[in-house]
Structure formats: structure tokens, C-alpha cells
Amino acid sequence: MDDVELDKGGAPHQTTADGYDPLTTQQGVPVGDDQNHLKAGARGPMLVEDFHFREKIFHFDHERIPERVVHARGYGMRGYFELTDDLSNVTDAKVLTEVGTKTPAFMRLSTVAGSAGSPDLVRDVRGFAVKLYTSQGNWDLVGNNIPVFFIQDAIKFPDLIHSVKPAPDRGFPQAQSAHDNFWDFVSLTPESMHMVMWHVSDRTIPRSFRFMEGFGVHTFRLLKGDQSTFVKFHWKPKLGMQSVLWNEAVKINGADPDYHRRDIWNAIETGDYPEWELGVQLFDQEFADSFAFDVLDPTKIIPEEEVPVRIIGRLVLDENVDNFFAETEQVAFCTQNVVRGIGFTNDPLLQGRNFSYLDTQLKRLGGPNFTHIPVNAPKCPFANFQQDGHMAMCNPSGRANYEPNSWGTDEGGPRENPENGYKHHPQEVSGEAVKLRPESFADHYSQARQFYISQTEVEQGHMQDALAFELSKVERADIRERVVAHLRNIDEGLAESVADALGMDLPDAIEPLVEPDRSLDASDALSILKNGPDSFAGRTLGILVSEGVDADLVTSLQSRIKDVGGSCKVVALTVAGVRLSDDGELEADEKIEGGPSVLFDAVAVIVTSDGAEQMADVPEARDFVSDAVSHKKFIAFTDGAEKLFEAAGLDANTIKGCFAVSDAESLDAFVEQLKELRAWSRGG
């Protein structure tokens, strides 16, 4: 019995002769042959009694559950939320009142429009969903990396998603909005214009999941007894915000379509744990009544200058999942999942989501028992009289499966708890049953304009280019004209720039329901570049090397990048790496064809003159430096690298943001500059 141990269920566990766990059926029956199915003779027909074959194929045939209609391409991580500021004056939620408590968490980040097989760096909104396993039950904060949405009422959600998904007659385009259907829909839906501004901004092409904000989108309530306080939730990345250029995104999708997934997986595996701060905007009914816009309108924000964001906690992701399907694919988020002390408003998009999300899980996960799946199950005690259905694993025990009942505590099951149970906010509700949009939702352009004028000149240029690109893919001229007509209500210069890029006359502005308020001040909080990082922490330097390079220079550079919290990837002509000047060997992380400069935040070209001459004949090496220059990355280069730059038609000594390096002092100047991330002054 030396090779027998008890498994978690107490059953004997027999290993094979060579020490492996035995392969078994789902019923635990050891499998003797997993290479051949049972036949009537070596060349005969299959015998139906081969239960192992039938079970194996049955499971394979059904291992794909229905893909999410939206947010199909997602990535999940485990972690914890730690409260740092007490909100007990406005809420009964323990997760927001017990400072220092670490609440287990699961986060899923995703793109919205593409299928599960689409690339990471498409221009798209990113889903930002967090499940907190609190001591009072699960709280799901299901939002996006953008604080507003395209529509005001949930009844329009199928239309929005149908418009951006592949057209039914041709099955494309995939994972992109640059096509007629999407722009046709939004051009006929003026309420979308604020979100359109965010959509064409750099927010929709983030450098990494780790460098983007998250938002709860809606106005929620914090509840303490019968007292209600309105709240907006914000997730702010500890490493600051960062995006890529559109040209980079296109090339990254070709070089590494799993770029975002790989980035956050590697960060967690190396102990560089991603972290966000949870902030809240708290306001009362008096402010809501005085605010220029309706706080129930999901196409509007409350500028941080009017209601500052108060940081109350932090979310740390410190563990990758054990199995992608079991957790990331099967996790079920529902906006209705709140705990005592957190409640809803009458936001018409939120009200619809509360219905839709639960309904969706029944289809995707096969029945009402999806909460029995470990990733969805609460980590606090739970008990109810719900029973049976597909995959039931937690049926009530004892005699009673109903309440009220008169059985004792041993058999009677759980009871309602008026003292500690969830309490909805008491509010007066009256009015006619009508299908009507309130007049307070009618201003569709003022905040769209505010977002645009809040961007830096560089960011505004990116938005102009994005609109021109997207609309250039729209075949119908009338759709293009309608979009530009909307832009005139946002910013005349923006409309003129896009019309000029499309080679079209400037159309008349669309008549707005409410005249836009052009006096709104710019909000610095809305710009990525105005809220960039103050260090190179969490970023990656790509080092292109050749045979015989200065060993001290390379190791010194690697050491300095590590000191500022960054990492280095070595790129060479072969994956075997290079021999250094001291005869030491430096292994490469990437072969030049697989390690283009678009994958890195900054680059260093540390090569000898002979190495540069050899690389000058390699197209990918020329692209490495020309793309780095085009994408305004800071570049370090040795004297020997000049031949490679010349082969790419460039003079490194005249390019802003390029640093000639040869010793420790020159390296220090380069590394110090990296905290600004981009050489925007390079122009072009």
C-alpha cells in the first residue's frame, strides 16, 4: 500500500507503475486504453458498449459553452480588495466600512465587440468587471474603462450591439467599428455622441489592462438605514494611464494578438502585481437637483472638478487563474449582485442591465445553478430553499424545502432576517405608465464637447485621425455626412478637420434638441496625457543587441531599468542571443522578427558597427528603429548603431528623444527621461 494515498474525498488513490495519477472516466473508472475505441475486430465497426469513448466524445462535443454576445474576449485574475477609508457614515456595507479588511476578488477585463478569438488591440471599449466576495454576499461592480455609454435606455442595447457586430448577410467585419452599420446607428442616435468622443480617443487602445481606468458607469446609491447617498465608482490604476498609437495597435495585433493577456499574466507571475485604487464621488439629492445634467443619464459624467474622487481602497491582483475555462469563461457577473448598504437608482440603462445579466447566465451556463460553480459561489455562508435544475450541487438538506414552516432548527432550514437582511431604499414612486425619454436627458453635445476640449493637442489630433479613418471605411456618403454634421455641434475645428481628411464639404449642423452649452470648462481628469505616470515602473524596454556589444553597458542599462521598476527584453538576430565583449553570453528573449519595437515602451539599440552593418540588410531591424522613431519612443543608441539608422533613412543624432549612450552618465539621462514615456515633441 506504499503507493496508495487518500484523496480529498477519502477514497484510495492508486498511482501507476511509473508514478503518474491514473487516467479515469468521469465516474473514476481507470482507463486501460485511451488510444483505440472498442471494435468488432481490428477493422470492424464500433461497439456501443464502449462507455469510455462515448463519454469522452460526448464531453468534447459539449465543451464549448455559448460565447458571450459581448465581452467575449476576456481575461480573469484573482486578488483582493482592501478598504483604506471608512464610509460607515453613508453605508451599511461592511466591505466599505471595515478598514483594513481584505476581501477576496475576481476581475475580468475584456473587449466588447469582438469574438473570443479576436485580437487584443482592437479599437474598442474595455469591460472592467470586479466580483468582491464580501462577508455579506457577492458584490459585482460591472463597468467599463469609459464612464459613459452609447445609449440611455437598455431597450436600445440589442440595436447598438447588432450594429457593431458582423453584418448578418456577410459575417464581417469582426472586432471593429469602422463600418457602415455602426456609424449609421450612432449617427441616427444623437445620445451616442459623448461616448463616440471617448470611443475615438486613446482610451480605446490602451497599452495594457494595467494602465487603464475603470468606472461603474451608472449612478448607484449608498444606503445607511433609510438614508441614501448617490455614488459614482472609479478605479484608478496605480501605474498611471497609458495608450498606444493606432499604427502601433495595428502592428501589435499582427505581432502578438494576445498582447494584453500576456502582459498582465507575466506581471502577476513575476510579482509585479497590478493595482487600482477605488474612488467614489459622493453627492446628495441637493447636488443632483442643481447639476446641469441628469445624474440618472448614463451618457453623462460628473466632472471631478465639481465632485472630487475620494480614494477609499485598493484592488490588488496577485494570482492568475488555475484554469481559464473554469474561472474566466464561467464567471458570471450580474449588476443586480449588491450587498446591504448598496442600492440602485432609476437609471434606465442600469434597470435593464439588472434584468439582462441574470437572463444571460441561464443561456450561457446551462441553467439556474450557475452560482454553484466555485468562481461564482459566495465565500460567506449561504442557504435557501432553491432546488434541483441542471447541475444542482447545493440542494437544501433536511425535510423542509419551503417557508414558512413549523419544523425545528435542525430540519426547518434558514429563516428570513429582517434585522440584517438586505433593505431596498424606500422611495415614492408615481406616474403614468409611459414609454418616454425625460427632457433632462436631451442635451447630447455639451459633455461631448467638454471631453474633446479637455484633451491635449496631441490627443485631439489622434481623435481627428481616428474619426477620419473610421469614416473612410464607411461606404455611404450620407452616413459620413450625418456624423460630421453632429461634430459641428461638438467642435467646429474637429468637424472641419474630419471633413477635410475625407475630402467632403462641411455639411450643415444637425439641429440639436437642446443647444449645446459651450461654456463648460475643460476637465484635466479626462485626459490621459495630463494624468500620465511619473516613472517607468511596470513598463518594458526593448534592447536590440549584436555580437560583441559592451557587456558593462548592457548590464548597467538592465540594472537601471530594474531600479526604476521596469523590465527589459533582449532582441537579437537569433533567439540564441549574442556573445558580449567579455565573452559572456546574453540570451535573447525575442528574435528580431518576433520582437518588433511596437511591443516595447522604449527601446535601446546597443550594437557594434559591424552588428549594425549586418542588421542594415534585415528589413525587420530597419523597421525596429523606424517604427520606434515614428511612434515617438525614447531611444538609446550606441555609436555603432548609426549605420542601422542610416539604412532606415534616419539620423539618430538629429532626432528628438534619441540618446547617444556610452557610459553610466549617459544611461542615467536616458532612464530619467523614460518616465515621460513618449517624445511627443518629435512631431510628425
Q: Tens digits of per-residue pLDDT, 3-33?
A: 434 344 444 556 667 777 888 888 888 888 8
CA distances from 193 to 150, 291, 490, 494 (A): 7, 20, 9, 13
Q: Which three cell numbers stand for residue 570?
A: 533582449
Round to whole Å and give the CA distance between 552 and 646: 26
pTM of the model: 0.93
Please indicate, yes or no, if residue 231 is contained in any of the structural domains.
no
- Write phi, then psi, for 64 (nearest 5 degrees): -95, 115
Place of cell 458607469: 217
Q: What average pLDDT is seen over the chain? A: 93
Domain boundary (509, 529, 549) is at 529
- Catalytic annotation, pick one of 138, 144, 145, 181: 144
Strands 214-215 and 220-224, by their bridges, are unpaired
Whether 144 is a known active-site residue: answer: yes
In a domain, 377, yes or no: no
The pLDDT tens digits of the residues spanning 545-582 come to 999 999 999 999 999 999 999 999 999 999 999 999 99
User: Do 31 and 93 lie in a common domain?
Assistant: no
Determine contact, residues 267/538, Cβ cutoff 8 Å. yes
For residues 117, 217, 213, 208, the Cα torsion angle rounded to the nearest 10 degrees is 0
What confidence tier does 389 reach under pLDDT thresholds 50, 70, 90? confident
Q: Residue 562 is part of a domain; what is its CATH number? A: 3.40.50.880
Per-residue pLDDT, averaged over 321-332, amounts to 97
Lowest mean pLDDT among 44-53, 126-135, 259-268, 574-583: 44-53
What confidence tier does 629 reach under pLDDT thresholds 50, 70, 90? very high
**Number of domains, the chain:** 5
Using CA atoms, how far apart are residues 428 and 244, in angstroms rounded to an integer?
Answer: 48
Whether residue 297 is contained in a domain is answered as no
Pairwise CA distance, residues 63 & 76, whole Å: 19
Do 391 and 265 share a structural domain?
no
Distance of CA 606 to the CA centre of its chain: 34
Whether residue 637 sits in one domain with residue 545? yes
220 Cβ contact partners less than 8 Å away, ≥ 6 residues apart = 230, 231, 232, 233, 338, 342, 343, 344, 345, 350
Note whether 244 and 128 are same-domain residues: yes
Do 654 and 549 share a structural domain?
A: yes
Residue 83 sits in the same domain as residue 187: yes
Q: Indicate if 514 and 541 belong to the same structural domain.
A: no
Residues 6+ apart with CB under 8 A from 616: 622, 643, 644, 646, 647
Specify the 3-state DSSP secondary structure of 614.
helix
Point out the domain boundary residue: 485, 511, 529: 529
Identify whether 576 is part of a domain: yes
Highest mean pLDDT out of 353-362, 380-389, 621-630: 621-630
112 and 243 share one domain: yes
- 193 in any annotated domain: yes
End-to-end CA gap in the chain:
75
Strand partners, 311: 279
Q: Is 247 a catalytic residue?
A: no
Helix (H) or strand (E) holding 660: strand 658-660
For 569, the 3-state DSSP assignment is: strand
According to DSSP, residue 49 is labeled: T
Per-residue pLDDT at 56:
84
Residue 256, domain extent: 74-212+239-277+312-341+349-372
Tell me, what amino acid is at 336?
Answer: Q
Same domain membership, residue 407 and residue 360:
no
Judge if 482 and 511 occupy the same domain: yes
Please tell me which residue in 71, 218, 260, 462 is annotated as part of the active site: 71
Residue type, 116: A
Q: Are residues 38 and 85 in the same domain?
A: no
Residue 475's CATH number: 1.20.1370.20
Q: Do residues 54 and 198 share a domain? A: no
Residue 217, domain member (yes or no): no
DSSP H helices, 518-656, are 551-563, 609-615, 619-630, 642-647
Write the pLDDT tens digit of every residue in 500-534. 999 999 999 999 999 999 999 999 999 999 998 99
- Measured distance CA(195)–CA(197) in Å, rounded: 5
